[in-house]
Structure 1
Amino acid sequence: MTKKLTILVRVEPGCLGPTGKDYVEDFCTFANPVFSRIREQALNWQLVPRYDKSLDEVELQLEGRKLTPEQAEKYLSMLDTSFTEISEDIGNKLSICIDKFFEAH
């Protein structure tokens, strides 16, 4: 498979506590390298702050185009995974990254 799927994760400032908006951008910079190692042969990860609540928390893109949920599931099935598994990976890694971020700061 030559095309990498991009998983855009919009991080809620509130998940970093009541003052999370003050350092959500630093957190995204901190967490991006950790996420980049997850299935790196097939996936590109991009963590950004979620300032606009109308945007999805997780968006899947292929060559810059947003995939529908059906398209995303089809593509993920070719990688022997599912959106549910990816979502669980995101939740677990975010938890770990939040802990490590606060330990380092």
Structure 2
Amino acid sequence: MTFASGIPDNRKMFVIFRMEPGSLGPDGSEYINEFCDFAQMQLQACASPYIKWSIVPRLDKSLAEMEFQVSSKKLTRSKAGQYLNVFGEDLDHFEELLEDNLEAIINQYFGR
């Protein structure tokens, strides 16, 4: 068992990503909830063993697009980067991968 796979759920980084309905096109608000459920299943299935995902609609623009938590405590972007560094990951790269994965998931969602 690797170090990362032995992390208890409460010590994993919980990543909340708030998806803009408009990212799904002009009618995105009609199916944003279903898409978020679909995207969360897809992301969690291929997630690193130290990450837990929550993909939700971004209905309140005052909330950040992405939020990081460990043990129910909010992390600053800097602290999230430090957490990822422990596993040899870079926050900027992590965010780029998320964008690429979401693009692929959107294409998969509309292609099904």
Q: TM-score, normalised by structure 1?
A: 0.93
CA distance in 1, matches of 2:94, 2:77: 13
One-letter amino acid of the counterpart of residue 72, structure 2: G
Q: How does 1:34-49 map to 2 (within 5 A)?
A: 34-36=42-44, 37-39=46-48, 41-49=49-57
| Separation in 2, partners of 1:98, 1:52 | 21
2-structure distance, mates of 1:63, 1:35:
20
Which stretch of the first structure deviates more once superposed, 12-21 or 30-39? 30-39
Q: RMSD across aligned C-alpha pairs, in angstroms? A: 1.0
Letter in 1 for 2:18: R
What's 2:74 paired with?
66
Structure 2 stretches lacking a partner, 5+ long: none
SS at match of 2:29: helix
Are 2:9 and 1:4 aligned?
no
Scaled by the length of structure 2, the TM-score of the pair is: 0.87
* Paired-residue identity, %: 34
- Structure 1 residues not aligned, in runs of 5+: none
